Every structure is written in structure tokens, then in C-alpha cells.
Structure 1
């Protein structure tokens, strides 16, 4: 919606993990080095942990984009709320193998082994990527470890990437996970970006879609406000900046200060957080059976939201009028030519 207004070729702050927008912050550059080292070893487990939205999936997808795809067969699992049998079926399915409901565990394992040996015979390496690994039960983790036993005399037939939130490390440090820990050849915790990297991250994503600073800019205090809200987490930064540019488009703002950032932050917190009762509004007891949504704090908040919506609609109408006028002028010019 706002891309044309700011002269951008695409949405710079999409929430989906896209290697096209990968930014090598200090932490992401180090994490990539660990991944590249682990991949070069061709065996065992590679573990990457980080907070929600830290960029773990984007990191791994960027790595796979950089390697020669002809030499690898990759299976990516994102649904980890599974038991042991279902996990094996999911692995087989992601590698393109049949896994009908009646197939037993020995049959699935036999198919996997045959497939992995076939990959090895063709000179290809099989990689298994498990996202949201913090949801895996210890039994499922052990089942995945057993898959690493598929190997020839000279090489391992399967290498596994485990991507998870910080609590996955609690699972790894369980006493019964010792055999798995011995097979982890590379591990890295991806922390948040600092303020300098966050600013560079925002500018990098904008530059990727053709940013020109005369059409869109952020003051230093706006950048500081973005970092204060996001804490250096890429996904939170994307969410905030996407909403910020949408508001800017609707209200015809090209140069953002901390004031505009705070307005958007307040909107987000009101939508997803607990509303705060405005000062100066006296408490009113609810009648019996009356729900909390009709408590005294909500009319004031709703009034504020309605005013903001009215202002937004006014901006939209203004933009539509400009578009209609522009089309009318264009049609008039065509008529004159005829």
C-alpha cells in the first residue's frame, strides 16, 4: 500500500523470513560462521537458539541459498508438536517419501535409510532442519538422534539443524541428553542486535527495495525510539516499521521523529497489551452481570481510537481524491489528443 508513496519497489519490513533481506549484524555474522563450519563437517547436529523473531530461520535459509542446491537435499519441519511416530512420518514426508497412516515405524525407518543411502550414492547430502525445537519432547529428540546413526563406513548420511528458543538449551542439558550433546558439532545463541546494528538493519532493508532518503527519513531520536521498543529483535523491528510506514502513508508523513514512533507503539500496545486507564477518569462500579468491556476506562479509549480512525479515513479520502483527480486529468488529456 505505502510502497509507491515512498518510491519503494516492495515491502521492506515483511514478517516472513526472506534471505533476500538478510542483514549481517555482528551476531548474525558470527552465527553464520558457526553454521558454515558445522555444514563443512558433514555430520552431527548444529544447534541455533535465539529469542522469538531473532532471525534463526532467515539465517539458515540464507545459508542454504548460498550453497549449491544440486549437492543437497533439504527437509524443513516447522510443526514440532508431534510424538515420536508422527515425527518420523513427518521427516519421511518432507523428504518426499510415502508415509501412509498404516505404515509402521520399522517400515518408515527402512524407507528413510534406503533414501539416505541413495542420496549418498548420488553424491548428495541430506539435511534435516527442525524449527521450533523447544517444543520437542526428550523422547522425540532421542528419536532424531537415532537417525544420525544412518551412515556408511566413511560418512554420515544425515545432518540435522535444530533451531529453537532459549529454553531448548534446558532440554539439551538434561542428564539423559548426553549422547546428543556429544554429537553437536556447532552451537550458537543468536542474541538481539545493538542500537547501531538496529539502525543499520532498518536502512539495509529500505535500501534493498530502492530507498531514497529525500522521500523517507528517520531522525536520530526516531531510530532510538525504534530500538527502545524492539530491543534489537528483527521481527519486532519489522512489525513496528511496517506499521510506521503505513501510518505515514495515510497521514502523508515522509520524515519521522520519535513522536510518530511513539504513536504507533501506543497503538500496538493498546491492541495487543493491557489497556491503561487514562488519568482523570474516575472509577465506576459495574452493575451485576455487566462485563469488563463496558468498564469506565473503555469509552475514553474508544473515543481516542474513533478520532484516530476518523483522521485516518480523512487521509484515505484525501489520497483517493488525488488519485481520482489525476485520472480525470489523464482522461481529459487523452480526449484532447483524439
Structure 2
């Protein structure tokens, strides 16, 4: 909506992880270095953790874009609540190994045969498990067992485990001692600082042809940092709304006041009043009416979990959640604007109609 107004080629703050927007902060460069080190070692596990929205998925996708498919066969598995009975089938499916109706022993033989043939062809197999905190201990143990596959003295499978901070706690549990012995490097991806937040915003704007329109005041950047706490996905959400707000108010500069106003609106949207309550009190419709779309409740639904499991390993859970969040914000913004129109609508006509009706 606002891209043409500011002379941009595209949407700078989209939530979908796009490697073309990758920003190498100190933390992201270090995390990428750990992943590349793991590739060089060609054995064991690399563990990367970070807060929700810290850029882990974007990091993985940026790494995958760098890989030479003639040298590395990579499989990217986004895990939901997967137990040991399913993890092997998902790994096999991720590598394109036929696994329907195979018993566990036959499935292990099929995976091993694939890994041996890959190595014999002069290639290496890489398994990346995103959202690893969702794995059960038994599922993690199955992954560890896969790392035992060797051809002479060469490991046949390299694994990266990427997850939220709680995965670090899971790793410290007594049943994970054997896995910990296989971890050759581990890194926690933290938030950006104030300077990196500003550089991140300008980097993403620059990716779509930004020439300083709109300009960002220094105090506005500080407000963005404080509201997002340096988490890239939160920065994207705030900046997207700020750009929309600047467009709607026809401003060519982003001020601290504008950012504060947008942030307050976003906070109000965490409340879910009913439509009738919002109209009756002439308050902005801050978010979706209760019952229409509760994102967290939807994601926790057992029926949805079954549907996602049936969708197979090619289903991108992270993108699904981001699209749901985008839908929630889009509808919320529309309802908010409707509420403001209702609140500011002239009241005289309504009074005249009531008087006429009473005659």
C-alpha cells in the first residue's frame, strides 16, 4: 500500500523470511560462522538457539542458498510435536526417500543406503531441524542414532538443530548426555542493540530502493528499538505499521511521536472486545472480535495439529504461523479503521431521523 508513495520497489518489512533481506549483525554473522564451521567438520551436531523472531529461520534459509547442490544434499525439517515414531519417516521424506509402509528396521536401512549412496557420489548429507524444541527426548535420541551411520571413518550425516531458548534447557537434561557429547558447537542468537536496530531498518529499506523517503529521526529509531527490544520480527511488525501510519498521515518523516502512537495502537490490539461493545462505546475496534480468530488457540488446536501432521514434512509451519499473524493484523487494522470512522461520523443526521420518526 505505502510502497509506491515512498518510491520503494517492494515491501521492506515483510514477515516471511527472505534471504535477500538477510542482515549480518554481529550475532547473525557469528551464528552463520558456527554453521559453516559445522559444514567444514562434517560430523556431529551444531545447535543454534534464539528467541522467537530472532532470525533463526532466515539464518537457515540464507545458509541453504549458499550451499552447492552438487556437493551437499540438504534437508530442512520444521518440527511440530514429533515423537520417535514419526521423526525417522519425516527425515526420510525430507531427503526424498520412499518410506511408505516400511517398518522401522527397513526405514533405517533405507536411510543408511541413501546416505551411503550420497557419499559414494561425492556429496554430503545435511539435515537441518528447525523448531527443535518441539522434539521429544525420544525423537532427539533417534536423530543422535542417525549420526552413528559411518562409511569407514567418515560420518554420513551432518545435523544442525535450531530452536527456541528452551531447547538449551532440554539439552541439559540427564537423558541428553549422549547428544551433548556429539555437539561440536553451540550458539545462542541474541537481540540486536540500538545501533544494529537502526542499521537493520536501513538495510531492509535499502533492499527495496529506499533513498531517504521517509526519513527516520534518531528518537524514532530509539522508540522502535525500545518497542521491539531488538528482535528482528518485532522490528518488522513495528516498522511496517509505522510506514503505513506515515503514508496515511502523508508524512515524509518518521518521528518519535508517530512511532509511539503506532506502538500504543498495537498494544491496544492485544485486547479483543466484541463488535457491539466497540461500537456502543465508540472505541476503535482494536483487534479481531473474540471467537473470530484467536491465533494462539488456533495453533494449539488438536485438530490443526493432526492436519499439519498429515500435510507432511514439506509443510512450512513457520511460514504458516507468519501468514496467520499477518492475516490477524490486516483484519485488525481494517476493523480499527472502521471503528474510527464510526466514532468520527457526524451525529446530526441520526438525530433528525429520530425526530422525523417520532412525528
- TM-score of the superposition, structure 2-length normalised? 0.77
Q: Within 2, Cα distance between the matches of 1:66 and 1:129?
A: 14
Partner of 1:210: 209
Partner of 2:227: 229
Unaligned runs of 5+ in 2: 287-335, 346-359
Q: Within 2, Cα distance between the matches of 1:36 and 1:146?
A: 23
Give per-residue Cα distances to partners, 1:209-260, cap 9 Å, x unaligned.
11011x2111011100000100000000001111111222223222110111
Give the 3-state SS of the residue equivalent to 1:87 in structure 2.
helix
| TM alignment of 1:259-274, pairs within 5 A | 259-273=257-271
The question of whether the paired residues in 1 share the 8 Å contact of 2:284 and 2:339 is answered with no
The question of whether the paired residues in 2 share the 8 Å contact of 1:80 and 1:131 is answered with no
- Relative to 1, partners in 2 of residues 1:303 and 1:50: Cα closer, same or farther, differing over 3 Å? closer
Give per-residue Cα distances to partners, 1:144-200, cap 9 Å, x unaligned.
100101111131111111011110011111112111001001110000010000000
Q: Offset of 1:106 from its aligned partner?
A: 1.1
Partner of 1:325: none
The question of whether the paired residues in 1 share the 8 Å contact of 2:279 and 2:339 is answered with no
Give the 3-state SS of the residue equivalent to 1:199 in structure 2.
helix
- Relative to 1, partners in 2 of residues 1:306 and 1:176: Cα closer, same or farther, differing over 3 Å? closer
Q: Offset of 1:298 from its aligned partner?
A: 7.7
Unaligned runs of 5+ in 1: 276-291, 315-338
Correspondence 1:310 to 2:341: yes
Correspondence 1:220 to 2:218: yes
| TM alignment of 1:1-338, pairs within 5 A | 1-100=1-100, 102-213=101-212, 215-273=213-271, 299-302=281-284, 305=336, 309-310=340-341
Q: Offset of 1:294 from its aligned partner?
A: 6.7
Give per-residue Cα distances to partners, 1:120-167, cap 9 Å, x unaligned.
011111111111111111111101100101111131111111011110
The question of whether the paired residues in 1 share the 8 Å contact of 2:238 and 2:263 is answered with yes
- Relative to 1, partners in 2 of residues 1:3 and 1:180: Cα closer, same or farther, differing over 3 Å? same
- Relative to 1, partners in 2 of residues 1:293 and 1:216: Cα closer, same or farther, differing over 3 Å? closer
- TM-score of the superposition, structure 1-length normalised? 0.82
RMSD in angstroms over aligned alpha carbons?
A: 2.4
Q: Within 2, Cα distance between the matches of 1:24 and 1:33?
A: 11
The question of whether the paired residues in 1 share the 8 Å contact of 2:278 and 2:285 is answered with no
